[in-house]
């Protein structure tokens, strides 16, 4: 078990709109976070997570400060090695997730923030996850690794 927490939760209601920061969200199995912009609900596109430590490292290593919501990931965590959760099941609040693959930074993210986020977040840009069981996720909730798949 990690010593960790959900730091913040972010949604985009429609593509191209600003990110909204919320205190809790309902994860819907096989879909995504309720209220987040519609997108193809393939397993690797249902929810994204990023480590607060990675966001802080971009500022430390590249001199670029971005707010947690600017990382364009749904859930910002603290104290969780997200890369280790690829291929593993874990609980975030009431929801059961499975890590699918890393969420590498893209040109779109760089266009919305700064070009240095590309090298700054390579291999630490977050995790794409599938929602296996829905439930409420709140700021402050723990993240608990369960099993391998």
CATH of the domain at 97: 2.40.33.20
What does each of the 149 residues of the chain score in pLDDT, given as a tens digit? Answer: 457 999 999 999 887 788 999 999 999 999 999 999 887 879 999 999 999 999 999 889 999 888 888 887 899 999 999 999 999 999 999 999 999 999 887 777 656 776 777 777 878 889 999 999 999 999 999 999 996 55
Distance CA 138, CA 41 (A): 22
Bridging pattern class, strands 47-51 and 75-78? parallel
Return the ∠ at Cα 97 (arms to 65 and 140), rounded to 5°: 50
Domain encompassing residue 111: 5-148
- Looking at the 3D structure of the chain, how many domains does it have? 1
> What pTM, to 2 d.p., does this model score?
0.91
Contact 120, 102 (CB under 8 A): no
The conformational region for residue 78 under phi > 0 = left, psi -120 to 50 = alpha, else beta, is: beta
């Amino acid at each position: 078990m990690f010593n960790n927490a959900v730091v913040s939760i972010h949604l985009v209601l429609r593509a191209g709109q600003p990110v909204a920061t919320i205190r809790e969200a309902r994860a819907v199995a096989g879909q995504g976070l309720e209220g987040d912009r519609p997108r193809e609900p393939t397993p690797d596109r249902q929810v994204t997570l990023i480590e607060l430590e990675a966001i802080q490292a971009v500022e430390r290593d590249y001199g670029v400060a971005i707010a947690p919501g600017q990382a364009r990931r749904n859930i910002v965590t603290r104290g969780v090695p997200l890369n280790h959760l690829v291929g593993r099941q874990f609980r975030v609040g009431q929801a059961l997730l499975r890590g699918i693959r890393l969420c590498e930074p893209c040109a779109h993210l760089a266009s919305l923030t700064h070009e240095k986020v590309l090298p700054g977040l390579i291999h630490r840009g977050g995790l794409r996850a599938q929602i296996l069981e829905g439930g409420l996720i709140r700021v402050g909730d723990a993240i608990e690794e369960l099993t391998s798949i």
